[in-house]
């Protein structure tokens, strides 16, 4: 009698390949699936959500290593998803250049400061901004002010990202104040996050603080993250502009609360 040997499930094979516990692999898959869904739905939140969940079961350095490939690829996906890229580059290149300058200027902070105070402060500011945006009229930026305000916003965003690892303030309020269409907002967010991540990666590599040991596992993490993004995008395309504004505000609120609680507890 010939016995056929069945192959173990994919999570078990991944766990065996990297010598990791199966429970850790399942948590990582679920974390990237949920984080990808949030990013697909509101255009942001993958690093914040994934890091918050992954650090429950692994060291922050391991979580950062797992995030490298999914964060980069999903930002490229978001930046290229649409036909507005040339127009967005022409309009927002000063802001993108400012992001690079701000990230480079403060590169040493994220590598050396592990107190979490900056992330805690961001966790308080984000819910405050989200609540304000949901209950008060939206701010507006005059067209003639963009040429000087855009690089300033970009530089501050890049510097704040170095302190916190999160590319949100003051980038998101500024972009919302421009009254962009839903798809324009999502695409320029993706482009901004891509430039921010590249600038941050170069800065951290220069400081010797860029974790590369888990690059193989990071490539595999792209699968659940990509699936989550696709599901989130499918949901986003089926909600109205008004509903999207509410969802976007709620998303900012939850991300901010998550940041605050993560550093408080």
Q: What is the pLDDT of residue 94?
A: 94
- Give percent above pLDDT 70 in the chain: 68
Q: Which of 66-70, 92-96, 201-205 has the weakest average pLDDT? A: 201-205
What DSSP character marks residue 169?
T
Higher pLDDT, 265 or 249: 249
Give the per-residue pLDDT at 33. 94
Residue 198's nearest CA partner among 80, 99, 88 is: 99
198 pLDDT higher than 50: yes
Residue pair 81/90 in contact by the 8 Å Cβ criterion = no
> 125 or 240: which carries more pLDDT confidence?
240
Q: Please compute Rg for the chain using Cα positions.
A: 19
Phi, psi for residue 96 in degrees, rounded to 5? -65, -40
Q: Report how far residue 106's alpha carbon sits from residue 162's, in angstroms, rounded to the nearest whole number.
A: 6
Sequence-distant (6+) residues with CB within 8 A of 130 are 249, 250, 252, 253, 256
Over residues 46-67, the mean pLDDT reads 76
- Token pair in block for residue 229: 């993004």
Return the pLDDT at 18: 53
> What is the mean predicted confidence (pLDDT) over 182-207?
80
Report pLDDT digits (tens) over 98-113. 988 887 776 555 555 5
SS3 string, 196-254, reads: HHHHHHHHHHHHCCCCCCCHHHHHHHHHHHHHHHHHHHHHHCCCCHHHHHHHHHHHHHH
Would you say 126 and 259 are in contact if contact means Cβ atoms under 8 Å apart?
Answer: yes
Whole-angstrom Cα distance, residue 140 to residue 57?
Answer: 43
pLDDT band (50, 70, 90) for residue 216: confident
Alpha helices in the chain (DSSP H): 10-18, 22-42, 46-54, 60-80, 85-105, 107-112, 117-135, 146-164, 171-177, 182-207, 215-236, 241-264
Average pLDDT, the chain: 77
Could you give the 3-state DSSP secondary structure of residue 150? Answer: helix
Average the pLDDT over each of 174-178, 199-203, 208-212 and give the range with the smallest value. 208-212
The average pLDDT across 37-48 equals 86
The pLDDT value given to residue 1: 47
Task: Read off the pLDDT of each residue in 109-119 and give the average, rounded to a whole number.
Answer: 53
Q: What is the pLDDT of residues 134-169, one digit of tens each?
A: 655 567 888 888 889 999 999 988 887 766 666 777
């Amino acid at each position: 009698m010939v016995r056929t040997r069945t192959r173990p499930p994919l999570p078990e094979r991944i766990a065996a390949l990297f010598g990791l516990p199966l429970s850790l692999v399942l948590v990582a898959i679920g974390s990237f699936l949920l984080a990808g869904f949030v990013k697909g739905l509101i255009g942001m939140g993958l690093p914040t959500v994934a890091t918050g969940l992954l650090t429950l079961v692994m060291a922050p350095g391991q979580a950062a290593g797992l995030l490298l490939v999914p964060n980069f690829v999903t930002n490229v996906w978001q930046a290229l998803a649409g036909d507005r890229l040339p127009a967005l580059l022409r309009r927002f290149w000063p802001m993108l250049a400012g992001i690079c300058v701000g990230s480079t200027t403060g590169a040493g902070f994220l590598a050396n400061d592990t107190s979490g105070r900056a992330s805690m402060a961001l966790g308080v500011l984000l819910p405050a901004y989200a609540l304000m945006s949901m209950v008060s009229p939206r701010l507006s930026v005059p067209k003639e002010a963009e040429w000087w305000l855009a690089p300033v916003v970009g530089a501050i965003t890049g510097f704040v990202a170095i302190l916190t690892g999160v590319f949100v303030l003051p980038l998101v309020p500024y972009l919302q104040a421009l009254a962009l269409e839903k798809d324009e907002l999502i695409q320029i967010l993706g482009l901004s996050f891509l430039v921010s991540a590249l600038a941050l990666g170069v800065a951290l590599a220069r400081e010797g603080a860029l974790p590369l040991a888990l690059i193989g596992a990071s490539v595999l993490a792209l699968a659940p993250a990509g699936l989550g993004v696709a599901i989130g995008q499918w949901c986003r395309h089926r909600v109205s502009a008004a509903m999207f504004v509410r969802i976007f505000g709620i998303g900012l609120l939850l991300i901010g609360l998550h940041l605050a609680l993560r550093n408080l507890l």
